[in-house]
Amino acid sequence: DSGVTQTPKHLITATGQRVTLRCSPRSGDLSVYWYQQSLDQGLQFLIQYYNGEERAKGNILERFSAQQFPDLHSELNLSSLELGDSALYFCASSDPSGTGSYEQYFGPGTRLTVT
């Protein structure tokens, strides 16, 4: 158990809809990262938040947005969903209390299926 939790575990929705994925980082971790893993693909970095502020952006579509709240949990919002958005979405956390540790600890993922 990495200490990172993600909800929901599975999500099935229709094209055009909007969903919110939730992540709670390990206790004390300040950084939260979101990744997308499509079928047989590697992990694509989407976005990173550090202590409530956006730190880095990767291949995140404009239809997607994220935020990190004062209690450090994060949400990834996916809107106008398309079939191609079906994937595993992972959250990871790192940097316990600003010590600069770079290893990222991953949650179990949310499997999103768009029909």
Partner 1 sequence: DQQVKQNSPSLSVQEGRISILNCDYTNSMFDYFLWYKKYPAEGPTFLISISSIKDKNEDGRFTVFLNKSAKHLSLHIVPSQPGDSAVYFCAASARNYGQNFVFGPGTRLSVLP
Q: Which residues bind partner 1 (CB under 8 A)?
A: 2, 4, 31, 33, 35, 41-45, 48, 55-56, 58, 90, 92, 94-95, 102-109
Cα 101-24-51 angle, rounded to 5 deg: 55
CB of 60 to partner 1, least distance (A): 12
CB of 16 to partner 1, least distance (A): 28
The structure tokens listed for 64 are 């997607």
Q: Is 32 helix (H, G, I), strand (E, B) or coil?
A: strand
Q: Which is nearer to partner 1, 19 or 26 (CB)?
A: 26
Q: Which is nearer to partner 1, 58 or 84 (CB)?
A: 58
Q: Which of 27, 78, 32 is nearest to 55 (CA)?
A: 32
Q: Which is nearer to partner 1, 85 or 95 (CB)?
A: 95
Mode of pairing for the β-strands spanning 53-57 and 44-50? antiparallel
What is d(CA 115, CA 107) in angstroms, rounded to the nearest whole number?
25
CB of 103 to partner 1, least distance (A): 5
CB of 109 to partner 1, least distance (A): 5
